[in-house]
Structure 1
């Protein structure tokens, strides 16, 4: 078929579909529009018109909690809208538990579904697929996770849970799979050498955390990965994937009795053992700049200092304050001053990564290499001015309204809810945390946000890492509503 005929038939097809859609609408249209809108059930999508300027509602979470016989913490939300359930196990088994062997936690987690006693990785994947189930896993600095999504029908559920219990409780750690994954990780390290943003991030964490467990990447290092053995994986699994070190989050079409039986089955499949000790707090780093020479047209800039842990009482105030500074995308101070008025970057953002111990507060961007020094000073001045003056009332009101509008998305699906439950359980937050957080946000005033931001951030304490070429510098363009030079394209990777 020629391109011309293909286009002709395509347009005819689209026209036919449009006519059918119009016909279906006319046939199904009610004879008279209702005089008053009917109240929509709480579990259906809300029309924006029906909101009448009010923030959309979110799903109220009735969280049930208990502990298994082996010591695992369970959080459960019944959700009968879909005949499915989501299960998420969160272990204090992230890279902060590597104990001198960077990459041990990551490799242990990656190897979970590579084999069990009578099945290899292909058979495991096929087993989940044939059941319409989905297995997921991942390892980070604080935690490691394993998840299952399955149909709730008894036959499908029991088969999926049996396979899941084997994968998380009795992985065989086959040597050939370990060799393959090691090679993939090592190849990734080679790729990282061509990524200035990644190089800058690795250097930043080293400078921020020194000898602390957060200092090294969750992926490990090119020096540590080759020497990790199957025996080390087994020992780490036995210790870090113990039931007493687990949080079981469960959401879906299950009764309380079914949820208890499911959690008991999963907990019993895990090694027996207690929770691991929480990560210690880091020491304050030495402030100042460092530079990584890299051939590029752009320079990556990272500015950071230690922020807060997840249970800090100022969390809500800092979250709101950062939304105004650089966490809320377009309209933030950093985006307005650095991109919109001067065209210095494609994008700039800031954020607190609150973890079990104090995570980083970070500002990140890429800019033209010849403007990097001036851009760095501009960003520092914006931060300094914001901490000194605080947000305006309009900025605060706009940020509150935006958060109220986006908040329902945090519980929009069962997958979203199970993630929230996992965090609540892992960080020992209150069961009413979701509602409490938004109430705290809406109650904050300008003075409280200013005080919290100034308490936790000091402009002179920033650790700064840049990655790019050493080139003669130019003066920054003056601010304007129409920058002469537009920012470069998508940041280099």
Structure 2
């Protein structure tokens, strides 16, 4: 535990140094994002936004194959892989690797989602070459020493045990299980204590070799570096990866709506989580659904749910909805927390707003207000180099095109009232969401 705390303190120090520089890189709607497609001598491609105003470089990258690629009985393997890649590499032990990052004010981190495995690098320009070399070691030659692996397994096990007492986590997991059954998306990315304990160094090596490949690699780079300098560094880090991986296809979601799962737990409030089938990101109706969701529950202080549930009735401090697109399907998710004796009333009000959106839809004024907010707030996604690098990777994974930054706001502005009403009927009309509750047992 002490080493874990030291590790994250070092990451915080490195991240803090990087953040000081990152604050200088901001973009506005009046400032076009010039994205360059960089292809290295060995064929490694990256999207680059060059900015020399501050001496900072941010790199984000991903591979297809997140936690859904965990083999049966080895749930949590990809999560453990993400936790151990920076725990020593090459001839550097865990302590030496962490100390080297601290000395250079470099941040290297890894994470996994359901569909993708992510990595990132943050470095000041003077430490550029050494930072990329540390990333090369972590990506290509992680040590997976037994002591370090066991330490991270113990830390992840603490999180697993904590999740069994967290109402939000319990409600979400019960909902996904009810909606998706045995689909991989319903499996927690952290696995179980039993599956985690069984994982070995060979499992980690095998999973890395399955997921890490040049075929599905997507890279975004932002900051004080030009294409000529970046290209050979891409080869240095990624050239020796396998050309192809060994990724299992993920079956399409078969979403079962209309389920109800109640979990009794002695907590102060009842947590409500609800969901309906949503849309994949490449669906032609996605932008219209995005605007519709903002009006329904996505707008923090302006949505129908905020107004009806919180402002008018004081049923919940926080309630809202969101679209969650995955590679194999999509969900329209929502949540609220309320007093146990008013949980059913809260749910009834939420469902009334769903029906109202499906049958009436918003007004023209509500639509225009939503579009103004969504287009006006878009530049906030680009107020730091790391955010922009993540967006570059997300665009590539969603296959939205290198010109999406320029197109996005015009796509939102083109959404009509008829579009919103059509997609509202498609997603909400006659649909009963799956509902999961966690709270005190009722009478």
TM-score, L = length of structure 2: 0.90
For residues 71 and 227 of structure 1, do their structure 2 counterparts lie closer, same or farther at Cα, with a shift above 3 Å needed? farther
**1:273-325 alpha-carbon deviations (Å, 9 max, x no partner):** 34735533211325221111111231111110221222222221111111111
Tell me if 1:402 matches 2:344. Answer: no
**1:321-360 matched pairs, under 5 angstroms:** 321-360=292-331
Tell me if 1:91 matches 2:67. Answer: no
- Please, what is the CA RMSD of the aligned residues? 2.0
Q: Distance in 1 between matches of 2:330 and 2:75?
A: 19
Asked whether the 8 Å contact 2:84–2:144 carries over to 1, the reply is yes
Asked whether the 8 Å contact 2:76–2:196 carries over to 1, the reply is yes
Aligned to 1:477: none
Asked whether the 8 Å contact 1:59–1:411 carries over to 2, the reply is no
- Using the TM superposition, give the Cα deviation of residue 461 of structure 1 relative to its aligned residue in structure 2, in angstroms: 3.5
Tell me if 1:166 matches 2:137. Answer: yes
Aligned to 2:234: 263
Asked whether the 8 Å contact 2:354–2:428 carries over to 1, the reply is no
- Using the TM superposition, give the Cα deviation of residue 159 of structure 1 relative to its aligned residue in structure 2, in angstroms: 1.0
Tell me if 1:383 matches 2:357. Answer: no
**1:50-95 alpha-carbon deviations (Å, 9 max, x no partner):** xxxxxx6254222222555766542122222222211112111311
Q: Distance in 1 between matches of 2:77 and 2:281?
A: 24
Q: Distance in 2 between matches of 1:355 and 1:70?
A: 31
Question: SS of the residue aligned with 2:305?
Answer: helix
Aligned to 1:445: 416
Asked whether the 8 Å contact 2:294–2:303 carries over to 1, the reply is yes
Structure 1 alignment gaps of length 5 or more: 1-42, 47-55, 473-493
Asked whether the 8 Å contact 2:267–2:440 carries over to 1, the reply is yes
Choose the corresponding residue for 1:175, options 140, 146, 169.
146
Question: SS of the residue aligned with 1:116?
Answer: coil
Tell me if 1:109 matches 2:82. Answer: yes
Choose the corresponding residue for 1:142, options 115, 129, 136.
115
Tell me if 1:122 matches 2:95. Answer: yes
Question: SS of the residue aligned with 1:270?
Answer: coil
**1:146-193 alpha-carbon deviations (Å, 9 max, x no partner):** 11111223xx21111111100111101111122111112222222222
**1:93-131 alpha-carbon deviations (Å, 9 max, x no partner):** 311111322111111111100111311222112112212
**1:328-373 alpha-carbon deviations (Å, 9 max, x no partner):** 1012100100000000011101000112221321110111101111
Choose the corresponding residue for 2:207, options 204, 214, 236.
236
Count of aligned residue pairs for this structure pair: 419
Tell me which structure has the larger Cα radius of gyration: 1
Q: Distance in 1 between matches of 2:366 and 2:287?
A: 16
TM-score, L = length of structure 1: 0.81
- Using the TM superposition, give the Cα deviation of residue 466 of structure 1 relative to its aligned residue in structure 2, in angstroms: 0.7
Tell me if 1:80 matches 2:52. Answer: yes
- Using the TM superposition, give the Cα deviation of residue 415 of structure 1 relative to its aligned residue in structure 2, in angstroms: 1.3
Tell me if 1:369 matches 2:340. Answer: yes
Q: Distance in 2 between matches of 1:110 and 1:270?
A: 20
Choose the corresponding residue for 2:223, options 252, 272, 291.
252
Q: Distance in 1 between matches of 2:128 and 2:420?
A: 47
